[in-house]
Structure 1
């Protein structure tokens, strides 16, 4: 199973592009500001990496060259 933790604008087609590549949205949250979304993303990624021991595993092909995706 592959997963992505990331933030995007509600006007973006980013989620649709990932769904076309076989990803499924498990949870989506709305935030008042991009800064708040970024802070939560950092916390989630920290948990995934340190407490669950998972590492970054997506390639450029998985993220369509977007290096900011985890």
Structure 2
């Protein structure tokens, strides 16, 4: 985001906005395709459990000042 703001100040705002929108479109599309592919191999329940475990790991790491 900061790079987009800096680039918008130095270059054409319309060009920067167009590039940022195009990049977001590509990134979102790839994420959706990867998610659809992984949904064939990983259950939704497993994703929920993994997300919960990662959340707890980050909580503990934050409490101990790792971040």
Same topology, TM > 0.5:
no
Taking structure 1 as the reference length, the TM-score comes to 0.34
Taking structure 2 as the reference length, the TM-score comes to 0.35
Higher relative contact order (CA 8 A, sep 6+): 1
* Higher-helix-fraction structure: 2
